[in-house]
Amino acid sequence: MKKVLILTYYWPPGGGAGVQRCLKFVKYLREFGYEPIVYTSLNGEMPVIDNSLMKDIPEGITILKTPIWEPYNLYKSFIGQAKDEKINAAFLTEKKKPSITQKISVWLRGNIFIPDARKFWIKPSVKYLSHYLKDNPVDIIFSSGPPHSMHIIAYHLKKKLNIPWVADFRDPWTNIDYYKDLMLSPAADKKHHRLEQLVLTTADKVMVIGDTMKTEFEALAGRKVDVIYNGFDTDDIDNSASIKRDEKFSLAHIGTLVKTRNPIVLWKTLSELVADDKGFADDLLIKLVGKVDFSVRESLKEYGLEKYVQYTEYLPHGEIGGVQKASQVLLLLLNNTPNAKGILTGKFFEYLASERPILCIGLTDGDAAKIIDDTKAGYTVGFDDSVSMKKTLLRLYEDYKNNRLIVNSQNINQYSRRNLTHQLADLMNNLSK
C-alpha cells in the first residue's frame, strides 16, 4: 500500500467546515490503496470543538502532532477578548461593530503574518517532518489550505526530499472574498502573490474545489489545474423514520453567516410577504444554525423579522443532517463578493444529500447555480433580484401548503466522499507514475 503524508491544520476534535475535506479523504483512502499519515497541530486555535467527528478517523492511523505558537493570545488581549473565547473566521463579528483595535489587528494580520498566523509553525514543522520522512518514507505529500502555511511547509519538504506534492486549495489565496479587507500594503500584497505563485508553479499537482477556481488558478499559474469537489458522506445522512418535517414553513441556513452573506433581498421580500399575508406570517420560521454576524442580526431587526428567527449557535456535525431533513427549504447564502461565481461551500453538497429544496442566493451563472440546475435540486436567485425572489418564495410556499415541497435530486452520487476520494487516489497514482 502506498503512503501519503497529509498536511492539514484543521483536524478533529476541531470542528467546522475546514476539517471535513481532509478528514473524509483520510476516512476512505485505504479503500483505494493509500495509507494516510496525518500531520497536524497539537494545540491549534480551532473555531469550534466537535468530538463527534472523531468517529471518522480510521483505526490505527498515524497522526503526527507538534506544538504550534500562534499570536492569538496577543490578539485577544489587544482587543479585550477572553483567552478562552474562540476566534471567529472570515471577519465575523457577533455582538458589536468592529472596534479600532480589531481594525488594527486585521492590518497586522495581513501585513505582518504572511501568509497567515501559522507562519511561525513552518520552520519547526519542516525540521520535524524532514527527520521523520528520512526514517518513514512516503510516496506523496498532500497539503491542504488555507491556512496556506501548510503549502509552504510542503514546498520546503519537496525542495529538500524531492517527494511528489499535491497542493489542495479549499479556498482561493489572493482572490478570497476577504483579501481586500486585509488592508495590505503594496509590499505585503506583492509577497502574498509571490508565495502563491511559488506554490502554484512548484507543486507537482494543484487541486481546487470548483470550475471557476480552476480557470482562475490556471490563468495565474499557466498550467493545468485539477478539480475535485467537496461532497457529502453517505454515512452522515440520517434516514431515520423519527425525523419529522417542520410544521412551519421553515427556511434553514446551516453554517457561519458573515456580513458578505447577509441576504438583504431575502429579508426585504420576507418582510413584504409577512405584511401582506397573515397566513404566511403565521407559517414562517427562519432557522439560523451557526454563528451569525452582528450586521445580519441588525438587518433582521430592520425588516421586522426577529420574532420569526430561531438561533442555534452550533450543532455537532452528526446532528446537522437531521436538521436539514426536517427543514422545508435550505438556504444557500453565497458571499456577495468579487469571487462569488466560484464559491462552493462544503455544506452545499450536504444540502444535496438531504433531498430538501435549496434556495440559493448568488450569481445565476455561478458554479453553485450550475450544479443546482444539473441536479434539479432547487432554485438560484440573484443577489438583488427582488422580483425573482418573491416569485420563488411564493412558489415554494404554495408547494409547502399543498404538501408538494419535495425534491428528487439527480446524479448526486458523483459528489459522495467515497467517489471523490477515488478521484484523489487516481490523481496521485498518475503522479507517482
Q: Which helix (H) or strand (E) holds 17?
A: helix 17-29
Task: Round to whole Å and give the CA distance between 258 and 252.
Answer: 15
* pLDDT, tens digit (0-9, with 9 covering 90-100), for 219-261: 999 999 999 999 999 988 876 657 899 999 999 999 999 999 9
Same fold yes or no, 2-73+83-231+417-432 and 234-413: yes
- Provide the residue ranges of all domains of the chain, joining segments of one domain with +: 2-73+83-231+417-432, 234-413
Say if residues 379 and 357 touch (Cβ distance below 8 Å). Answer: yes
Q: In the prediction, which pLDDT does 81 show? A: 52
The end-to-end CA distance of the chain, in Å, is 15
Task: Round to whole Å and give the CA distance between 366 and 348.
Answer: 13
* pLDDT, tens digit (0-9, with 9 covering 90-100), for 334-350: 999 988 999 998 889 99
* pLDDT, tens digit (0-9, with 9 covering 90-100), for 93-145: 545 555 676 677 777 777 888 999 999 999 999 999 999 999 999 999 999 99
* pLDDT, tens digit (0-9, with 9 covering 90-100), for 322-332: 999 999 999 99
Kindly tell me if the per-residue pLDDT of 79 is higher than 50: no
Q: Which helix (H) or strand (E) holds 329?
A: strand 329-333
Instruction: Summarize the confidence of residues 150-165 as an average pLDDT.
Output: 97
Band of residue 92 on the pLDDT scale cut at 50, 70, 90 = very low
The amino acid present at 183, given as its one-letter code, is: M
Domain 2-73+83-231+417-432 sits in which CATH superfamily? Glycogen Phosphorylase B; (3.40.50.2000)
Question: If you average pLDDT over every residue of the chain, what do you get?
Answer: 91
Among the ranges given (84-93, 146-155, 204-213, 303-312), the one the predictor scored with the smallest mean pLDDT: 84-93
Q: Which residue has the higher pLDDT, 409 or 188?
A: 188
* pLDDT, tens digit (0-9, with 9 covering 90-100), for 374-404: 999 999 999 999 999 999 999 999 999 999 8
Kindly tell me if the per-residue pLDDT of 46 is higher than 90: no
Q: In the prediction, which pLDDT does 105 show? A: 74
Share of the chain above pLDDT 70, in %: 91
Buried b (16+ CB within 10 A) or exposed e, 285-323: bbbbbbbbbebbbebbeebebeebbeeeebbebbebbbb
Output the 3-class SS for 138-201.
CCEEEEEECCCHHHHHHHHHHHHHCCCEEEEECCCCCCCCCHHHHCCCHHHHHHHHHHHHHHHH
Strand partners, 53: none
Which pTM value belongs to this model? 0.89
Task: Round to whole Å and give the CA distance between 176 and 130.
Answer: 31
DSSP character at residue 359: E
Task: Round to whole Å and give the CA distance between 8 and 22.
Answer: 7
Q: How many residues are there in the chain?
A: 433
- CB burial class (10 A; 0-12, 13-18, 19+) of residue 188? middle
* 3-class DSSP assignment, residue 122: helix
Q: In the prediction, which pLDDT does 241 show? A: 59
Question: Shortest CA distance to 353 belongs to which of 209, 254, 226?
Answer: 254
Q: In the prediction, which pLDDT does 95 show? A: 54
Task: Round to whole Å and give the CA distance between 358 and 343.
Answer: 15
Q: Is the dihedral of CA 372, 174, 87, 261 positive or negative?
A: negative
Domain 234-413 sits in which CATH superfamily? Glycogen Phosphorylase B; (3.40.50.2000)
Question: Shortest CA distance to 2 belongs to which of 33, 38, 25, 39?
Answer: 33
Q: In the prediction, which pLDDT does 176 show? A: 87
